[in-house]
Amino acid sequence: MPSSDSALSALADKDSSVLPEALAVAKTIQDERYRASALNTLADKLPLELLPEALAVARTIQDEQYRASALCALADKLPQILSEALVAARAIHNQEYRTNALSALADKLPPELLPEALVAAGTIHYQRYRSIALSALASGLSQMPNVELFPLWQDTLHELSLRTRPNLLGDIEALILVIFALSGEAATVEIARAIVDVARWWK
């Protein structure tokens, strides 16, 4: 089936007039994994008039992981569906796949959706994946006005502090851009020193 995706892509690259037919083929794919993959392949090639149909196909995918993947690919041209894509990403039970979906969405999300994405990242229990998701979101978060970012940071820090020291340190490292945005370079250095001091006795 992956070869079918390649064939669709190659055909679309050579002749854009076949795009409606290629989308129709993608729509008939029964396996949701490959249907999502076909949509991902076609997403950046589709003209505006075909995007509503592609979105309808994406919405037929029941599996949250594959639906989030397809919606994320289409969101580059349809930013109004980012909220829907984020909902699909949050619903993914597998922590690795949820991390991948949130990371893929991170640089596309407008400021008003970043708090929701941050909450979703914070619910990832496995520290490695959680830090990856937090790190992906950190750049966008650091661009928010401090008056909005500071209370969000307070709430996030409280939630993260409920975990073990290694978990908290890893999460703080992932969010260093947020700390820098709130406090500047000098304060960030002081925070780093304080973390080192606390690490000497906090188990």
> Residue 1 has what pLDDT?
45
Q: In this predicted structure, what is the pLDDT of residue 182?
A: 86
Q: How many CB atoms lie within 10 A of CB 189?
A: 12
pTM of the model: 0.81
Query: Which residue's entry shows tokens 């260093």?
Result: 176
Confidence of residue 157 (pLDDT cuts 50, 70, 90): confident
pLDDT tens digits, 73-123: 999 999 999 999 999 999 999 999 999 999 999 999 999 999 999 999 999
For residues 102 and 56, give the distance between their C-alpha atoms in angstroms, rounded to a whole number: 22
| Gap between the Cα atoms of 134 and 84, Å rounded | 20
